[in-house]
Amino acid sequence: MNLSAQRRRELKFHARQLFFRYRRPCLVAALLLLCVSFLAQFFSAYTGGALFYTFMDVQQLPLDTGLWLAQPEIMENLMSTMGLQGLGNWGGLLLTLRYDPAGMVVVLPLAWRQLLNLVVVNAVVLLVTSPLEFGVLAQLRRVMEGRPQRLHRLFDWYLDLRLTGKALAVQVVLTLWRVVTALVCALPGLLCLVAGTALPNGESLLFLSTVLSVLGMLAAYGCYTLLLPARFLLAASPKLSARQALSQGLALTRGRRMEYCYLNLSFLPWTLVSRFFRGVPDLYVYPYTVLTNYLFLGTVQPQVREG
């Protein structure tokens, strides 16, 4: 079956109908997840669980494009200028991109202590947010079936440690898969960007790097959607193991993966609007996209085997 534009519109129309029919449980679930996500982002940024880059004058930091080993004193001074005092005292790496026509250097500091914080903080964030996200996904599944749950059921994935472990396992696999595919797909654009800034008259390479970067992001998202059904399968069928959810999720869209990818890419304008307004539109966008995904996957959902 080919998922035509008309079919996508039908699925989205049905999802909107479900949202407005059950808008209260949808909005409550989305609001709770949005608030927790905001707190997690603040915690991550405040504790050094995120990477930051900065622009510096070439005379201030006369380094060519490349990857450099930085001693603790240099790294600490640089991190202090970015408001991240205390994270550079172990030293680290500097990823620099020099562009002489503009007289500036783009610097991405990778302090050893910051990288450790990055792993620990994001592990904490996953531990806190994953069970709630699966509780929200389960609620939206019940909405699709016309029988939304009470508010306290959103926290079921915290109360049962087996469910918590499954949610964490699937989220960790999806996160690692997304990071790896994003890095691999970004390489062509990054190489062109480095060459464009290092070579004379490299403007054409800079333009090519932009094109390749956009294509790389689309390709990375396409790869991410390969494993995306696992989240919906596990939320709908909690008795599945994490491995079963991942393997059956891959099998679920076999022969329809491009259709599924196109469906999720069609939400890109909504995603951009949501990012522009700091995630507030997710009160509508998140339930809308999840319900549409469930409707798409629903035709083969009865074939899922619990174990």
Q: Are residues 127 and 240 in the same domain?
A: yes
Rounded Cα–Cα distance for residues 235 and 293 (Å): 12
Q: With bands split at pLDDT 50, 70 and 90, how would you rate the model's confidence at 164? A: very high
Q: Are residues 288 and 210 in the same domain?
A: yes
Report the percentage of the chain scoring pLDDT > 70: 96
Closest CA to 300 of 240, 255, 242: 255
Q: Are residues 160 and 206 in the same domain?
A: yes
Domain that includes residue 298, residue range: 5-48+115-303
Q: Are residues 168 and 92 in the same domain?
A: no
Q: Are residues 95 and 65 in the same domain?
A: yes
pLDDT in the model for residue 87: 84
Q: Are residues 156 and 21 in the same domain?
A: yes
Number of domains in the chain: 2
Tokens standing for residue 127:
């531990």
211 has a pLDDT exceeding 80: yes
The mean pLDDT value for 36-54 works out to: 86
- What sections of 65-202 are H helices per DSSP? 72-81, 112-144, 156-159, 161-198
Q: Are residues 207 and 143 in the same domain?
A: yes
Q: With bands split at pLDDT 50, 70 and 90, how would you rate the model's confidence at 305? A: very low
Q: Are residues 34 and 60 in the same domain?
A: no
Q: With bands split at pLDDT 50, 70 and 90, how would you rate the model's confidence at 44? A: confident
| SS3 at position 54 | strand
